[in-house]
Structure 1
Amino acid sequence: MRVAQFDRYGPPEVLYATTAPLPVVRPGEALVRVHGASVNGGELTMRAGKLRFLLNRRFPKRIGIDFAGEVVTAAEGVAGPKVGDHVWGMVNKWRGGAIAEYVAVAPRTLSRSPKGVDLVEAASLPVGTTAITALRDHAHLKRGERLLVRGAAGGVGSIAVQLGHWMGAHVTGLAAAGNLDLVRDLGADEVFDYRTTGPADLGEFDVILDSAGTDLRAYRRLLAPGGRMVAITVSSPADAAYLLASAVFGSRRIRFFAGNPTNALFAELTGYVESGAIRPVVDTVHELGDIAEAHRALERGGVRGKHVIRLANA
């Protein structure tokens, strides 16, 4: 099978497509033929070596976390998807390996993918589990509340805008100027160019979902009394330290979590998509051989939804 991997940390150019044996399917695992897998910001950080202190030193390393595909071998003795089912899910984020023609995964990390959605496009959506967890479980967003989404055109942000709208919030989105129409179309009530609109230009919010990871202190000041802020990434040691301090000092704590979704959450996301509350937003579909360009494109910014790698016909 064909896979994407890298032999050293560095820029996107360290990534390449190669061949590897089919994965060994352990007891209780299913084998999935991957049709599409998305590119995530955390993978850029990992590839660049910024998380090397958390990883083993072995190379080569595979890349990719979330995927959509078709079950070719069902897990024996375990309830879950059957052969031929269209599914989506995630592999272990520390091992990676979703950008491959086949993955072996436990059924607890798989769910039926939405009917009527192409499997390559569906690969853009598993990060929606992060938006659900952030807005519902950590921020406890309520109907009528004011929600600010930073990075509103990105992979998580574009889904958070849709979900916030569906939950009845007044949604404000910050995104690049060229993406404001998209964010408005996804359900935002107000949209602003993040390059020309800073925290001082905005009002109060009950909930802030931050997928930018910068200037956390400045945006936290926008919280109304009783407001909640959820950050899904941090971009510097200073912001990481401030995030940790906010958990100890003050009532307006910044929540931070590392998503580890199960099949129940994936199944819930499937329901949102099939109901029309959430739709996929795909910036570009890349072939496997263009994995380095996909990483370069995400690093350039201005993304509209997700960059997806097509694998079914690789």
Structure 2
Amino acid sequence: MDMMRAAMYDRYGPPEVLYFADLPIPEVPADQVLVRVEASSVNGGELSAREGKIRLLTGRRFPKLVGIDLVGSVERVGAEVSSVKVGDRVWGLVDESVFGATAEFALVRPEKLAPAPTTLEPVEAVTLLAGGTTSITALRDHAHLGPGERLLVRGASGGVGSLAVQIGKLFGAHVTGLAGAKNLDFVRSLGADEVHDYRTTTPADLGRFDVVLDTAGTDHRTYRGLLAPGGRMVAVSLDFDHLPGSIAYLAGSAVHGAQRVRFFRGDPHSDLVAELTRHADSGDVRPVVDTVHPLENIATAHRALEAGGVRGKHVVRIS
């Protein structure tokens, strides 16, 4: 039986529950693709899943795999798949219900894959996937961000925020970024028109915005109050430490009040991933690599993201 290395955990807990081990390479269902993974990254949702904060969704069946996004090459294709072939260079995302991208091989549905950028190395390209597809969906499809509008990005140095700054500028907005003091120059280098230290700048100091993109998951009510007439707020994260209240507020704001908060969980398909490929190859967005970790240091990678102050993404090099 052919084996592969994969990152996993056997119980909920801190980063120390993570380890890597050998698993059988999975059989390929007729409607899926087996990808030989070269790089993956660590995303905030994985931390909450590993800690057990969303165990009502993730359940108690172990071991559990980690990893959402990947760059690699097609190793095998299911009998019903015609959109990709063995040897194709691809990138995309696995289903968040199962994870599994941080492994030497991963099963992916073909409708979640697109040709990988040709201008970037795998460890660079993978930093764009989750944040780029989320930002395009949030700013274009949910907020309908237009040229000249004022955009506020909370968490502007992180995996989603660093792409939201770039996508916002691509759409012609005036972008204000909130980040930690040590990352202000970094956010400015991404194209932000204004940057502020979230620890020393109060929301009242920021003014009004047409669109607020929230990646932090906290204080939704406060930042909703910064919206100008006709303003839109999109939240891409919840307050997992106060989950029932966070869900209740967002649900209520979606139906009450003049300025509603839109919340969504990304589920990008191949057309959106292919659009991001074009942006990457044309230089519209640039990779945002914080640190590259080997697979055996998966716990270190999770610990680093938890520590905060990240610039872009922590990447896991697989092969």
Interval of TM-score (by shorter of Structure 1 and Structure 2):
over 0.9
Quick one: distance in 2 between partners of 1:116 and 1:21? 33
Q: Which residue of 187, 201, 224 maps to 1:197? A: 201
Aligned residues between the structures: 312
Q: Does 1:114 align with 2:117?
A: yes
Match of 1:29 in 2: 32
How far residue 146 of structure 1 moved from its aligned partner, in angstroms, is 0.2
Deviations 1:75-102, CA, capped at 9 Å, x for gaps: 4342322222211111110111110000
Q: Does 1:84 align with 2:87?
A: yes
Match of 2:147 in 1: 143
Deviations 1:229-271, CA, capped at 9 Å, x for gaps: 0000011233332211111210110000111111011001111
Whether the aligned pair in 1 keeps the contact of 2:30 and 2:81 (CA below 8 Å) is no
Whether the aligned pair in 2 keeps the contact of 1:284 and 1:307 (CA below 8 Å) is yes
Is the deviation greater in 55-64 or in 182-191? 55-64
Quick one: distance in 2 between partners of 1:186 and 1:269? 17
Does the residue aligned with 2:292 lie in a helix, a strand or coil? strand
Q: Which residue of 102, 105, 108 maps to 1:105? A: 108
Q: Quick one: which amino acid aligns to residue 222 of structure 1?
A: L
Q: Does 1:167 align with 2:178?
A: no
Q: Which residue of 179, 183, 199 maps to 2:183? A: 179
Q: Quick one: which amino acid aligns to residue 134 of structure 1?
A: A
Quick one: distance in 2 between partners of 1:78 and 1:21? 22
Whether the aligned pair in 1 keeps the contact of 2:211 and 2:233 (CA below 8 Å) is yes
Q: Quick one: which amino acid aligns to residue 76 of structure 2?
A: T
1:289-300 to structure 2, matched below 5 A, reads 289-300=296-307
Match of 1:40 in 2: 43
Quick one: distance in 2 between partners of 1:71 and 1:123? 16
How far residue 126 of structure 1 moved from its aligned partner, in angstroms, is 1.1
Does the residue aligned with 1:224 lie in a helix, a strand or coil? strand
1:12-27 to structure 2, matched below 5 A, reads 12-27=15-30
TM-score under structure 1 length normalisation: 0.97
Match of 2:266 in 1: 259
Does the residue aligned with 2:128 lie in a helix, a strand or coil? coil
Whether the aligned pair in 1 keeps the contact of 2:215 and 2:235 (CA below 8 Å) is yes
Quick one: distance in 2 between partners of 1:307 and 1:23? 26
Quick one: distance in 1 between partners of 2:170 and 2:127? 19
Whether the aligned pair in 1 keeps the contact of 2:160 and 2:215 (CA below 8 Å) is yes
Cα RMSD for the two superposed structures: 1.0
Match of 1:275 in 2: 282
Quick one: distance in 2 between partners of 1:276 and 1:31? 29
Q: Which residue of 59, 63, 73 maps to 1:60? A: 63
Deviations 1:253-303, CA, capped at 9 Å, x for gaps: 000011111101100111111121111101000011111111110010000
Which runs of 5 or more structure 1 residues have no equivalent in the other structure? none
Match of 1:287 in 2: 294
